[in-house]
Structure 1
């Protein structure tokens, strides 16, 4: 999930800024370049930028963000109280403009969607892994992006295509429940929720992406490589102060090593799929279609050739990474809420039993379960897996937002929690209450088309293309987990704490260890 950006394969940039600065002082050499930036500073002054905290020469607000007593994902609320729903931060060479209201999000993503449909420049490390922005998420707004997105949506994530992977999801769910049951039997009923949910989602996306059968050992190895990629993509100080880049040559070399590991792990899967497609005797265990199939001969506007193997690695990795941690994070928050409120869990189980009886619940069944659907919508309102949608950027000069100037090189970031918890839009926004969506109660279009009240997938032209897939996976997994097990507190965690922290997504600050009791 992106936003819940199912395809937010990178950690949202602003949400990681508080990690950027350590106790090491900036090299004195920074002072030498001060006068080189004066002209840029003067130009910035001529613009009518949104208000924001005063910063230091050259480094801007990096010190304030690094020394804040709270993580950046919460520090934004403090800044909002001072400067309002749109404010500016100068992070070294980068300018961030953060918006945090429904009105401004609607103006930026719907009313002026085309103006703010691009992405800002990336750092060299991220360019290594994105093949110079050759992905759906990172591509600048234009023909190349349209080709990649069109292919992902129509060739992979349409409702018809998603239904074709029903068998893969059923198989993965059986493996998932078996893993939970085995872990519980070996641990006196205790299971780690996030770890198991993440593995289940990763298995589904691997199968959807490559259409090949893999043993568990291979899956674990690929997963480890993907995690190293995400860690490597964490922001560094030289991302915001490029003149420090020579001091980070070691990290740049390490990034090249990780990239080589990623390529070496994924190319054999690409070759295996090619062999399956070219073989006259089709492997009966292979999927009839995969995301990779749509990429092998993809015609991208403005290019004369289909993606090469390295670009295929990039596009496949985007698909897998984008939907793994976001979905797994949602599952952990979901189970925490059900443990906290046994009555809610009981209502959900009763609805499942009423609909399917003793047979295994299927994703088609979940479409007929209004309480389950309301629970998932409330889950995404209260616990979006990312607190920032993927960064936008102005695609045209002279763009304005809220009567302020938005430079083309600036990062435009949308902060989601203050939108989905706005008391002007929601009754009791701090509470977790699926009932709000039932019996003609509150309504919310998570796509933002009919009005922005919650946009866990972003909205507008750059809305997460995996919206349908993400909701399907979350809904099915919650239904399966509740049908098979009664979920309760573990003695080591008698009081569920809903504090959060940033990893690749916004996860529970204390990983959830739960007790399960089989219902069968």
Structure 2
């Protein structure tokens, strides 16, 4: 480890030395480029590395560093991160212009580091594909084949069983901790969502130890995809050969873990009479014979691994993160928790668990989930967009293939759009209160799932899972602060999704149904 750090340090020193040699030449070239395009303002950066070191040396994660630039440069600004140009949008008006009014212009994705394309099968996923026929085929299949309201209803029993297992798991963990009722919220929520998505994706029953093993591999993938210095400075790639080799090892492990599930599903579909209990539709079924526009063959096993992993990873951490923030808000506001419990009890009655049919009759729960997504979107940036060609946004030029980053917190906390935006207040969404179309079609006020052509296709599934899990958790337990944990705080950090800086350990007290 020490030797790799030394090599990287040497590379950076050499890079800075080369800057001093080529400074004037680079400056002239950059000046000529700047004259051609009227880019948004932004902090001055160093030659070649741009603002990269300013961000790295700030001591803050990028999701927090960006917020400090808004008062200095306005609602749209430019950051030069090595070879990448980032255009950061922080206002509702500009987000609406980019994603809705000019949605087709900004519907593509920028180029990726080779490490990332290893895991995306050269951008063969719904989220990473460039705007075009291939993307339309993949998205259409995911939406109509898996995430439509009709398809989601087919997995009612799967979700119900997973929720029973989830509540039992919390109850056991609470009892095992010396009778004190202590549980780790995020870990349990993540496992529950993962169980649902594994079943929806592959249509097979798995033992808990197998699910835990698959989950561990998926976590490795997410960790491997964490941005590195050579993502922004490709000339440093030779110094990251070890990390690239490790990425290839993780990819092989991912393939070796998922391909057996694909083969198992094929066997079920080939011999349906022998597997009647496993014939419920799965996402994989829609992929096996998928004909993507512009391609002559169906997806390979490696591509199937990629598409299935996208479906599972895309819905696991985002939902689990929301649950952790939600429980923290209930602990902070006992009155909100009491009101939720009263509503759930009045609708579900006594002696049975709340189900997803009940949720439609729970306006306060729905308001709570909306407020949760407003204050705590799973990510602070929507997935990166890119212009298909040089385009105008807010009067500025946006180069083709530049990273267009939509920053969500400044939108959902804008005092021009919200009353008391800093306060967590579900009541704002009840009848006669504030309105928010979370799809952003009518107006952008909060877009936790993005908006426009590249809006997250799992929006309906995500909100359903969050609502159902919160209902079951509040119905089964009273949630309290752990006496041995520090005072609850709502600072955040990026860990694929935006999680609580300190993982939430809570105390539960079982309620009577």
Report TM bin, short chain. Answer: over 0.9
- Counterpart of 1:84 in structure 2 is 74
Residues 51 and 86, structure 1, Cα contact 8 Å, conserved in 2: yes
Q: Does 1:44 align with 2:36?
A: no
Distance 1:23 1:492, change over 3 A: farther
- Counterpart of 2:358 in structure 1 is 365
- Counterpart of 1:394 in structure 2 is 387
- Counterpart of 2:3 in structure 1 is none
TM-superposed CA distance for 1:25, in Å, is 6.8
Aligned to 1:481, the other structure's residue is in SS state helix
Higher relative contact order (CA 8 A, sep 6+): 1
Aligned to 1:26, the other structure's residue is in SS state helix
Q: Does 1:74 align with 2:64?
A: yes
Instruction: Render the CA deviation track for 1:20-71: whole Å, top value 9, x for unaligned.
Output: xx97771414644747856752443121100000011110001110111432
Residues 11 and 236, structure 2, Cα contact 8 Å, conserved in 1: no
Q: How many residues align?
A: 498
Q: Does 1:151 align with 2:151?
A: no
TM-superposed CA distance for 1:77, in Å, is 1.4
Which 4+ stretches in 1 moved above 6 angstroms? 22-25
For the residues of structure 1 that align with 2:109 and 2:301, how far apart are their CA atoms? 24
Distance 1:273 1:29, change over 3 A: same
TM-superposed CA distance for 1:236, in Å, is 0.8
Instruction: Render the CA deviation track for 1:473-493: whole Å, top value 9, x for unaligned.
Output: 000000000010011110123
Q: Does 1:293 align with 2:279?
A: no
1:47-62 alignment, distance < 5 Å = 47-62=37-52
For the residues of structure 1 that align with 2:229 and 2:64, how far apart are their CA atoms? 21
TM-superposed CA distance for 1:118, in Å, is 0.2
TM-score (norm 1): 0.94
Instruction: Render the CA deviation track for 1:392-413: whole Å, top value 9, x for unaligned.
Output: 000123x010111100021000
Alignment match of 2:327 (pick from 328, 331, 335): 335
- Counterpart of 1:245 in structure 2 is 237
For the residues of structure 2 that align with 1:135 and 1:287, how far apart are their CA atoms? 26
1:55-454 alignment, distance < 5 Å = 55-187=45-177, 188-358=180-350, 359-397=352-390, 399-454=391-446
For the residues of structure 2 that align with 1:378 and 1:24, how far apart are their CA atoms? 48
For the residues of structure 2 that align with 1:203 and 1:436, how far apart are their CA atoms? 33
TM-superposed CA distance for 1:73, in Å, is 1.0
Residues 213 and 285, structure 1, Cα contact 8 Å, conserved in 2: no
For the residues of structure 1 that align with 2:393 and 2:318, how far apart are their CA atoms? 29
What is the aligned-residue RMSD (CA, Å)? 1.4
TM-superposed CA distance for 1:287, in Å, is 4.8
1:5-44 alignment, distance < 5 Å = 26-29=12-15, 31-32=17-18, 34=22, 41-44=30-33
Distance 1:69 1:251, change over 3 A: closer
For the residues of structure 1 that align with 2:342 and 2:274, how far apart are their CA atoms? 43
TM-score (norm 2): 0.95
Instruction: Render the CA deviation track for 1:295-352: whole Å, top value 9, x for unaligned.
Output: 0000100000100000000000000001100000000000000111111101001001
Aligned to 1:281, the other structure's residue is in SS state helix
Aligned to 2:508, the other structure's residue is in SS state strand
Residues 478 and 509, structure 2, Cα contact 8 Å, conserved in 1: yes
Aligned to 1:301, the other structure's residue is in SS state coil
Distance 1:179 1:287, change over 3 A: farther
| Unaligned runs of at least 5 residues, structure 1 | 1-21
